Amino acid sequence: MPTSTFFNLKDEKRNKIIEVVKKEFERVPLSKISIKRIVEGSYIARGSFYQYFTSKEDLIECILRQEYIRVRSVILNLLEKNNGNIFDMSYEYLEHVVENEKSKTSYYLHIAQYLKENTILLFDTIDIEDLKKNLDISILNFQSDYDLRIMLKIIAITLQMTKMDILNNNISKEDGIKRFKREIMILKKGMMKEER
pLDDT, tens only, 105-149: 777 777 777 777 776 666 776 777 888 888 888 888 777 888 888
Q: Residues 40, 74: one domain? A: no
User: What range does the domain containing 141 cover?
Assistant: 64-191
Q: Residues 116, 139: one domain? A: yes
- pTM here is 0.74
Inter-helix orientation angle 145-167/86-101, to 10°: 30
Q: Residues 142, 172: one domain? A: yes
How many domains is the chain built from? 2
Q: Residues 110, 139: one domain? A: yes
> Is 145 a member of any domain?
yes
Q: Residues 33, 91: one domain? A: no
Domain end call among 54, 78, 95 = 54
Q: Residues 129, 109: one domain? A: yes
List, for residues 12-31, the tens digit of each pLDDT value.
999 999 899 888 888 888 88
Q: Residues 44, 69: one domain? A: no
Q: Residues 76, 111: one domain? A: yes
DSSP 8-state secondary structure symbol assigned to residue 120: -
Domain end call among 35, 54, 73 = 54
Please answer whether residues 111 and 155 qualify as being in contact, where contact means their C-beta atoms are separated by less than 8 angstroms. Answer: no
Q: Residues 76, 168: one domain? A: yes
Q: Residues 86, 135: one domain? A: yes
Split at pLDDT 50, 70, 90, the class of 179 is very high
Q: Residues 111, 145: one domain? A: yes
Reduce the secondary structure of the chain to three states and give it as a string.
CCCHHHHCCCHHHHHHHHHHHHHHHHHCCHHHCCHHHHHHHHCCCHHHHHHHCCCHHHHHHHHHHHHHHHHHHHHHHHHHHCCCCHHHHHHHHHHHHHHHHHHHHHHHHHHHHHHHHCCCCHHHHCCHHHHHHHCCHHHECCCCHHHHHHHHHHHHHHHHHHHHHHHCCCCCHHHHHHHHHHHHHHHHHHHECCCC
Q: Residues 97, 167: one domain? A: yes
